[in-house]
Amino acid sequence: MTRWYRERKREHFYRAAKKEGYRSRAAYKLKQIQNRFHVIRKGDVVIDFGAAPGGWSQVAREIIGEKGLVVGIDLQPIKPIKGAIFIVGDITKKETIEKIKEKIGNKKVDVIISDMSPNISGNYSLDHANSIWLAENALDFAKKFLKNNGNFICKVFEGELLKEFLNKAKADFEVVKLHSPPASRKSSSEIYVIAKIFKKTEGGAEEIEQSDNG
């Protein structure tokens, strides 16, 4: 794929986001993941990690409808979205987890989505390790708060630590796949872990399926 084509593709999703009222081109990544894997359903309670500027929360809000709930968390403030609640905080900190618990109350969490990225240092090994560390924090939250049969999506950077992280996800979900949505840049090392059907009991997960980039 030529650089010209890649730039044109990026511009396509950027223009589409502007036209359709999404806050970022990343909104199309979640839309494409949803179209393929159906991770979010009407009425769901969705936790959105790394939510700024709000593109994924917008898409989730459209899917869940009026009876669902989206709680978005980010280090940066997010402009309000009708029907969504936003928290400024660090998900690796206990106080942020407590804030999330306050917002969801007695509701069961159906889906956790994470588009978190570390601050890019330029050192690929370090950036990869930091992306896995963030994903592990999201997975730990999922293990504590996700309801039985719930779903989990998180972004990671590809690298040597990915297999170990997938094995951790496999221990708690029946289906674990890797997927690169068409809206992702082909030159990017990002890939999404799609984990479906959370089981609170130990074991019973299927073998990790091969990377699905179709």
Contact status, residue 56 vs residue 168, Cβ threshold 8 Å: no
What gap in Å lies between CA 129 and CA 38, rounded to an integer?
29
**Residues 6 or more apart from 153 whose CB is under 8 A from it?**
30, 33, 39, 111, 112, 113, 114, 192, 193, 194, 195
Residue that has been written with the tokens 């869940």 in this structure: 64
Contact status, residue 96 vs residue 89, Cβ threshold 8 Å: yes
| CA 88 remoteness from chain centre | 17
Contact status, residue 114 vs residue 141, Cβ threshold 8 Å: no
Q: CB neighbours (10 Å) of residue 159?
A: 16
* Beta-carbon-side half-sphere exposure of residue 22 (alpha carbons within 13 Å): 23
Catalytic residue positions?
A: 155
Side chain identity, residue 41: R
What gap in Å lies between CA 48 and CA 100, rounded to an integer?
11
